[in-house]
Structure 1
Amino acid sequence: MTFAQAVDAHDRYLRRRGMEGDARERILEHLGVEGRGEAEIESSRPRILLAARDFPQELTSSVLWLNDAGLDIRCVRLLPYRVGHDLVLDVTQVIPLPEAQDYTVRIRGREAEQDRRTYQDLDWTREEIERLASLITSPFNLRLLDICAERPGEWVSLSDVREAGSAEEQARWPQARFGAGALGGLTQRVRREFGRGNWPMEYEYVTGGDSRRYRFSRDVALWWSAARQASRTAAGDS
């Protein structure tokens, strides 16, 4: 997320709740940036904070699994108490546990550095795209890359991919979870088969219902379309 996107999202938040204040100034103050300069948001990795009175086991298990996969999700328990005429809020971080947080951050930093050394971001070649097209079996990944190829240079959201599916598929895949496992599988495939850390498509984080959107360069779009057509022709001949 860029600084401008953060300002826009916070401005919408303030207006929805009828709160006063300048979104830009509030964010600059929160970041500790003086003056009216442009703040730089260094990390492109989203951080998620979940706050509730209690967390069911299904949710905490999912959070722990996603944190192990590299996301940064925290669960904070909020318990209100009445003390005389005052209302007191007890705030406790339950995931990750405070005593384990520093250790977790250090381990994750070492793993990220190891990934950067092991898997580099490299330009894809036509031959690699042809090979990738022959290896992918996930309907979601094929649909995503096909749509990206149909719209080279344009951003494609997860909603675009979901809406291209059948009614049965849309009912089976709630938008919040749609494609997460398939994209994780694509990451593992490009690492294992091609020794690289980047997908053939670009991506960026966005605000709103879709967490990310994707696009092909024109060259990669042409290569992918040709490879898919060759695969369909070969399947028809057989």
Structure 2
Amino acid sequence: MTQADQEFISVPVPREHVTKVYAFLAELAGTAESASGGEAVAEADGKYPYVEWSLEDLRRLPKTRMASVQTAVGVMDILAERPGSKMSYTSLSDLLGLKPKQLQGALAAFTRHIHKEYGRRNWPLEWAEAAATDNPDFRTESFYTMDESIARLWKDVRAT
């Protein structure tokens, strides 16, 4: 269907959710067909399984053209240079040249991508919430890290 064939409507969205809506719409437009042939199947409890990341899984990530996945690839590039070190959400958004809400929307879309295309719940990096240190506007903030083994695999992926 071309854009000329589509009917567009305006939908009021609270300001704090606009980037999430944009990320969701971009995901809908960019992933009409799943590489695995359809939606990933959640476990009986409704959760996706925890699955270790292989070298082949990691090789697929940078090939995905979706902006949200490319943002996550940028986060992974930064974290792979500092395996085991925690980086704040604010620091990552600054290094990537993004506003915090843009990073938030991209990472939310990345989670949906991981569910749909990889059939798992876990990212190839870890995050935890803690008291904010870099941004006085937040009481708490997310901190991200990549373990040494994933960092080594990721560096191999990025070197090829």
Q: Same fold (TM over 0.5)?
A: yes
1:227 aligns with 2:149: no
> How far did 1:137 drift?
4.2
Counterpart position of 1:192: 116
Counterpart position of 2:51: 122
Residue 179 of structure 1, aligned match among 92, 103, 106: 103
> How far did 1:120 drift?
0.6
1:205 aligns with 2:134: no
Write the distance in 1 (CA, Å) between the matches of 2:121 and 2:144. 16
Q: Structure 1 residues 60, 151: CA separation in 2 closer, same or farther (over 3 Å shift)?
A: closer
SS in 2 for 1:188: helix
Q: Structure 1 residues 143, 59: CA separation in 2 closer, same or farther (over 3 Å shift)?
A: same
1:145 aligns with 2:80: no
Write the distance in 1 (CA, Å) between the matches of 2:72 and 2:90. 14
SS in 2 for 1:164: helix
SS in 2 for 1:161: helix
Letter in 2 for 1:162: S
Query: What are structure 1's unaligned runs of at least 5 residues?
Result: 1-56, 67-110, 231-238
More strand, by proportion: 1
Write the distance in 2 (CA, Å) between the matches of 1:220 and 1:201. 8
What TM-score do the two structures reach when normalised by structure 1?
0.44
Write the distance in 2 (CA, Å) between the matches of 1:222 and 1:130. 13
SS in 1 for 2:112: helix
SS in 2 for 1:206: strand
Alignment of 1:1-238 (within 5 A): 59=14, 62=17, 114-116=45-47, 119-135=48-64, 137-138=66-67, 139-165=70-96, 169-170=97-98, 173=99, 175=100, 177-208=101-132, 209=138, 211-230=141-160
Contact 1:130 1:223 in 2 (8 A): no
> How far did 1:219 drift?
1.0
Q: Cα deviation per residue 1:108-166 (whole Å; 9 max; x = unaligned)?
A: xxx9x7431xx11121112211122322643432221111100001112122212223x
Q: Structure 1 residues 132, 140: CA separation in 2 closer, same or farther (over 3 Å shift)?
A: closer
Counterpart position of 1:69: none
Q: Structure 1 residues 207, 136: CA separation in 2 closer, same or farther (over 3 Å shift)?
A: farther
Q: Structure 1 residues 61, 129: CA separation in 2 closer, same or farther (over 3 Å shift)?
A: closer
CA-based RMSD: 3.2
Query: What are structure 2's unaligned runs of at least 5 residues?
Result: 1-11, 22-41, 133-137
Query: For the pair shown, which has the larger CA radius of gyration, 1 or 2?
Result: 1
